[in-house]
Amino acid sequence: MPRTELTAIVDRVGRAALAKEMSHGCTVIDARDVDALSMVRRGALLIDVDLRDIDQVRLIKDNLPKADDDRIRIVAVERGSHRCEIQARGLGASDLLKRPWSFADLSRCLQRHANRHTEAISLEAEEIQREPGGSSILSAAIELDRLFTALTANGALDLASVEQAGDQVVGAVAEVGLAKWLDSVRRYHKSTFQHCLLVTGVLTTFGHKTGMRKQDVLTLTVGGLLHDIGKAQVSTDILDKPGKLTDEEFAEIKKHPLIGYDYLRKQNLIAAETLAAVRHHHEYLDGSGYPDGLTGQQIGDLTRIMTICDIYGALVERRSYKEPKSPAAAIEILTRMARDGKVEYELVKALERSVAA
């Protein structure tokens, strides 16, 4: 499942425009850095350079990997300049950004990119929908794609759409059961999206099986869809790395709870307990977690539930470099963590009963 990452290729003028308009992080490459150009592989591209500089345009064209159907290339051009538009098309432009461009202009380009991916998802829709809970998996996956794109572009959160997707997940998991939900998700999704959908299913099941009211179950489910949204700003080269992360790479991973929290807080739409769970779902009761090193009573109930469901989801996830743990093995690991004082023992037992049921 692709998601939007933004790489900006700029010269001096383009860098100034980027600094003025962009309020979020993106990978920035100097237009004359041949090595960096040749390493660009994923995500959306913004090319903002002097297109009248033929040598510079040729340098980019010769060293940038060829365009493919999964990437959008947004090229900034001077308004009314036919020559610049020709050069932009020569660089593989799939969208033109007229100078002086605004953040809103860029956001619209990225949204069109998100819509393209939504259309690509629909090509698999018929097959996915034949799976248990397939329609809801498809709906949730589309919503995740929109969420990640919105954060990357610093766009608005459509909470109503997230809640609608969450409501479909609640109904589907109640109907087909967790095991079939997990099997279907693992069959059609991978990496971060697989993880988010798995965790969402586990949270929904926990709510169902522990007798929560439907609204509380929906709160858990929406929290599952939102909990890792900050990973939209983490390179997939790190997220999907099969081997051990370096200290620097792990430091980048550890930023995602704060990135997600900051984005959602600015929307003024998300309840405080859900915001806390997004920020603190990697905290442990003994203070050894991140990002704030919270302990004991500083960690709320929703966060404690999300933490164990997040860990369970990671353990039963299938990745290219590991097979999924069995439910029993995942619960055993969580039980050891509870005995070590990291997570709440009674919640682990409640999760064990929920997934067994």
What pLDDT digit, counting tens, does each position of 137-192 carry? 777 877 887 788 778 777 788 899 899 989 989 988 988 888 888 888 877 666 67
| CATH classification for the domain delimited by 6-113, as one of 3.40.50.720, 1.10.10.10, 3.40.50.2300, 3.40.50.12280 | 3.40.50.2300
Q: What is the pLDDT of residue 138?
A: 73
Least reliable range by pLDDT among 13-27, 39-53, 88-102, 226-240:
13-27
For residue 20, the one-letter residue type is: K
Domain 124-356: which CATH class?
mainly alpha
Contact 189, 164 (CB under 8 A): no
Exposure pattern of 75-114 as b/e (b: 16+ CB <10 Å)? bbbeeeeeebbebbeebbbbbbbebebeeebbbebbbebb
- What is the arrangement of strands in the sheet containing 73-78, beginning at the earlier edge strand? 27-30, 6-10, 44-48, 73-78, 95-99
The stretch 327-344 carries a mean pLDDT of: 97
User: Is residue 100 reached through a cis peptide bond, with omega within 30 degrees of 0 on the bond before it?
Assistant: yes
Is the pLDDT higher at 204 or at 87? 204
Residues 340-352 have a mean pLDDT of 97
Question: How far is the CA of 148 from the CAs of 143, 307, 310, in angstroms?
Answer: 9, 21, 18
pTM above 0.85, yes or no: no
Helices (H), 77-213: 82-90, 103-123, 125-129, 134-152, 159-176, 178-188, 191-209
Q: Are 207 and 220 in contact (CB under 8 A)?
A: yes
Rounded Cα gap, residues 88 and 51, in angstroms: 7
CA-based Rg of the chain, rounded to a whole angstrom? 22
Average confidence score pLDDT of the chain: 84
95 DSSP β-pair partners: 74
Evaluate whether 111 touches 103 at the Cβ level (below 8 Å): no
Q: Which of 116, 83, 100 is nearest to 48 (CA)?
A: 100
CA 144 to chain centre: 7
Question: pLDDT at residue 71 above 80?
Answer: no
Contact 111, 148 (CB under 8 A): no
Average pLDDT over residues 232-236: 79
Read off the pLDDT of residues 277-307 as tens digits, 9 standing for 90 and up.
999 999 999 999 999 999 999 999 999 999 9
In angstroms, the CA 191 to CA 314 distance is 10
pLDDT greater than 90 at residue 263: yes
- Every domain of the chain and the residues it spans: 6-113, 124-356
User: Where in the chain does DSSP place strands (E)?
Assistant: 6-10, 27-30, 44-48, 73-78, 95-99
